[in-house]
Structure 1
Amino acid sequence: MNGLHHDSLLFNVHDLALLMAAGQYLLLAALLFSTRRPGDKSVYLLVAILVVSAVQAVDTLLIWSEPLRRALLSWDANALFVGSFSYWLQGPLLFGYVASVLYRDYRWRWNVCLHLLPALLVGALLVRHYYSLPSEAKVTAMWDQSFLWTPLMTHFITGWHLSVIGYGAASVWLIARYRRQLLEQYANVEVSERGWLLWVVWGFMLLSGWKLSVHLVGNRIGDDWSNLLGIASHYLALIFVTSLAFVSIRYTHLFAGLTAVGGAETAAFTAEQVERVRTFMERERPYLADDISLELLARRLSLPERTLSRILNHHFKMNFFEFINRYRIEEAKRLLCNPQKSDLTIMDVLAESGFSSKSTFNTIFKKQVGQTPSQYRKAMQRDR
């Protein structure tokens, strides 16, 4: 609900940008729905977000395009604000989408209905303060948009944007927690594989933040600047949905997801179990397998996953990612120091050490050793 322009044309170029954004949201939603994988709940949530965003774009166009608004008022004043419920669904849908992508056992629970209360409350308030008015009063209230500047609508618009930003912040926190859990279960983790999901979340947050800023300062900076900043929102929405098309097509099927972790770990461990872990790592060298995980290692050790995780966290003071890759770095150092292995390239070394990513190998090696693998090899050659 922003972007002031009062052209006499039915559509101007700025309106077309908003229409194109709405069209792209719907086309992307149709594409994702038609190519969804069986049982992939996250696709349905993303499709819902895209449809809601398209409804918002059309709603914005009908309210702020003067020719369209007045034509609609002449036809049926009740047609305005029909998309108002969608504004309060965007944040909860975004959070649900992120959770369903990250956790394969994500389930809707009864308390999800609580997230719908703001939409129901706004709908009730609009019925009372707008839809219950006589037709002439509705036309008067929206002919020159005076209804939009009432305290009710001001709080409504502010609250909607804060809702998206708040749910977006919760989604960022969820992604950060997921990464911590990922490091507890896997040894090969690529941070870049989660960048696309952060981009989706931050995109919605930044777009809402921009619109909120325009809404809050619009009456203080004059019509010209208010119009300009509001119109910029249309183009930002178009740019964002275009980037979403690329991101969704390329990355949305990357994640297999984790199983959601329950409450705090309470599994105790014994000195014998600690020694079993240490001995097994030295003799069997499971870290050389690039697909090693907490589940696989626990199975080979005949230990519950939670017990093994607790041993790593509380005895060795490391998560699974750090624990496995510390052994891998020692193996890489041994290979780099061995004159008989001097013909191995850095790629050979990282592969034989159990790494699957050069960027991960270089980052961890430099963090632990203080040098890059190439620098370390040269230093060892000089010392011989």
Structure 2
Amino acid sequence: MDKLGFLDSVAKIAAFISLLLALFLLTVKTENKLANRLFGCFIILSAIDFSGLFDYSFPQQYVDLEILRTTICLLEMPLIYLYVLAVCYSDFRLKGKHLLYTLPFVVMNIVLMPRVYLKSGVEKEYFLAHFSEMPEVYFFQILIECQYWFYIVSIFLILKKYRKIYLENYTNPSTSTYKWLFQMNCVFVVMHSITASKNLLRYTATRDTFLWGNVLMVVMALSVICWFVMKALNHPELFRGINSGLQLTREFLPKENINETEIIINNQDEGISSQIQALKKYMTAQEPYLDPSLTIQELANQFNVPVRDLSVLINHHMDQHFFDFVNEYRIQKAMQILKDPSKSQLTVLEILYEVGFNSKSSFNTSFKKYTNLTPTAYRNA
């Protein structure tokens, strides 16, 4: 099989599997329907993108559709950006303003209109025959690069804020969503960097080298899509979003209280110290941390204080994230159980559920953070 035939086969397999995965995402029953639909649409557009590598001759009367297909890639990163928002924030909804993200796609097709869509005959044939050398194509490539890196940076900024809000307001399963989306964005950075390098081969290398570059990119893209979806299926907890209305503690602190220097509890006024002691006593006596889905809002309701005051108390005055504050009590409880000879028959898995964790990896990470030992090693010691 020659290179073109091999590329055609790989591209068709990639497109076929992508469409199957998209069909699954668009029909599967889940609480996170919007995120699944956005990602399903992204996969469909990727499949359409793959079709450009098929070994076929497009009918002359429909050549405008082929040109339109080449610009479809300008809709892919906006979909991924919206997907990240939908995964991170449980109350995210699509609105009319989000149509602005289609602007590069619209602009590109307007640029192509004078010499492609509105032309016919010899002029149009000449443009298509020298397509890769036309100014419109250079503009297209620059637009893709600008758009891609804009969304990459935007996603990293969203994830940075998401992680801070989660740590200040939630506990389990913590940063797994952040880690997953961060990995995904890093993969996109690598993929696009390789794609951009591959595109340079169009002008600097032989046609055979360029074709093999296309084969490599299709195989890598297919692998990434399969990995992405299988990860989502095997780890549904990744899609637990937070409320977008939540603020970081520093956003509602009085200006004069925003100080990056450490606050030592002994130097605080008696009111703050007494509140901290009362909170610690409540945590020890009532053990609210045993609830695996405990949030700062729920703890504030139980402790009978405004949620903002509790957030400032923990995240600012105690200089701890709510996540670390709660998990510290869970680890201390787990340590008591592990040291208790009468409970030696309990497995580590049973213990982590008993103390409020619902993820073995999260429990092991937190336990080692506080003890420098794994739960099993601590029990044996």
TM-score tier, shorter chain, comes to 0.7 to 0.9
- 1:22 matched to 2:32: no
Change (3 A) 1:166 1:374: same
- 1:149 matched to 2:151: no
Pick from 43, 59, 76 the counterpart of residue 50 of structure 1.
Answer: 43
Shift of 1:303: 1.8
1:279-315, Cα deviation, whole Å (9 max, x unpaired): 3123223223334322221110112222211111111
C-alpha separation in 1, matches of 2:341 and 2:87: 47
Query: Contact (CA 8 Å) 2:167, 2:174: kept in 1 or not?
Result: no
Shift of 1:131: 2.5
Could you say which residue in structure 2 is the equivalent of 1:163?
147
Query: Contact (CA 8 Å) 2:10, 2:218: kept in 1 or not?
Result: yes
Query: Contact (CA 8 Å) 2:78, 2:101: kept in 1 or not?
Result: yes
Change (3 A) 1:158 1:256: same
Could you say which residue in structure 2 is the equivalent of 1:122?
108
Could you say which residue in structure 2 is the equivalent of 1:68?
57
Structure 2 residue matching 1:106: 3-state secondary structure? coil
Change (3 A) 1:199 1:345: closer
1:20-72, Cα deviation, whole Å (9 max, x unpaired): 222222232222222244782223312221222222222x236xx4x515xx3
Change (3 A) 1:235 1:343: closer
C-alpha separation in 2, matches of 1:115 and 1:49: 14
Structure 2 residue matching 1:107: 3-state secondary structure? coil
- Between 48-57 and 236-245, report the one with greater CA deviation: 236-245
Could you say which residue in structure 2 is the equivalent of 1:382?
none
- Between 341-350 and 47-56, report the one with greater CA deviation: 341-350
TM-score by length of 1: 0.81
Change (3 A) 1:358 1:108: closer
Could you say which residue in structure 1 is the equivalent of 2:313?
311
Shift of 1:322: 0.7
1:66-100, Cα deviation, whole Å (9 max, x unpaired): x515xx34x45434312244221111111101111
Could you say which residue in structure 1 is the equivalent of 2:69?
83
1:113-138, Cα deviation, whole Å (9 max, x unpaired): 33222111101111123233332122
C-alpha separation in 2, matches of 1:79 and 1:168: 29
C-alpha separation in 2, matches of 1:304 and 1:17: 58
C-alpha separation in 2, matches of 1:203 and 1:304: 41
- 1:325 matched to 2:327: yes
Could you say which residue in structure 1 is the equivalent of 2:197?
213
Query: Contact (CA 8 Å) 1:165, 1:209: kept in 2 or not?
Result: no
**Matched residue count:** 362
Change (3 A) 1:133 1:354: closer
Match of 2:23, as an amino acid?
Answer: A
Could you say which residue in structure 2 is the equivalent of 1:286?
288
TM-score by length of 2: 0.81
- Between 233-242 and 317-326, report the one with greater CA deviation: 233-242
Pick from 179, 185, 188 the counterpart of residue 172 of structure 2.
Answer: 188
C-alpha separation in 1, matches of 2:62 and 2:339: 81
Q: Which runs of 5+ in 2 are unaligned?
A: 258-270
Could you say which residue in structure 1 is the equivalent of 2:302?
300
- 1:259 matched to 2:261: no
Q: Which runs of 5+ in 1 are unaligned?
A: 380-384
Pick from 235, 239, 246 the counterpart of residue 230 of structure 2.
Answer: 246
- 1:365 matched to 2:354: no
Match of 1:16, as an amino acid?
Answer: S
Task: Percent identity, please.
Answer: 27
C-alpha separation in 2, matches of 1:180 and 1:376: 30
Shift of 1:253: 7.4
C-alpha separation in 2, matches of 1:252 and 1:356: 13
C-alpha separation in 1, matches of 2:245 and 2:238: 20
C-alpha separation in 2, matches of 1:354 and 1:133: 67
